[in-house]
Amino acid sequence: MTLKIFLDEKNFHCLKQVIPAGSRSKLLLHDPARLSFVGSNTVISCSEAEARNPLLYASHCPGVIVSIHKAFRSAGLCVDNSEKLQ
């Protein structure tokens, strides 16, 4: 399943700053095949596992956390990954 995470410019920049170099999440943020742009938003297309990893680093980016949670809810997934939503 592919999730779409919508981030405005501020939140995309915040996420890029908090993810450490060498992290797979950092590679995701620089992969043109995974990024698209809708208006002023950056859309990241990724798997469920790839979407969970940035949550480890995004504590200083509340807008990123909200966007990732929205992507999970839109896909019918729980954020804590314990079960799918009904």
Where in the chain are the domains?
Answer: 3-74
CA 13 from centre of chain: 12
Residue type, 23: S
Q: Are 61 and 70 in contact (CB under 8 A)?
A: no
CA 55 from centre of chain: 8
| Mean local confidence (pLDDT), 66-86 | 77
pLDDT tens by residue, 20-72: 988 888 988 999 999 999 999 999 999 999 999 999 999 999 999 999 999 99
pTM: 0.85
Across the strands, what pairs with 6? 43
Helix (H, G, I), strand (E, B) or coil at 44: strand
What count of residues does the chain have? 86
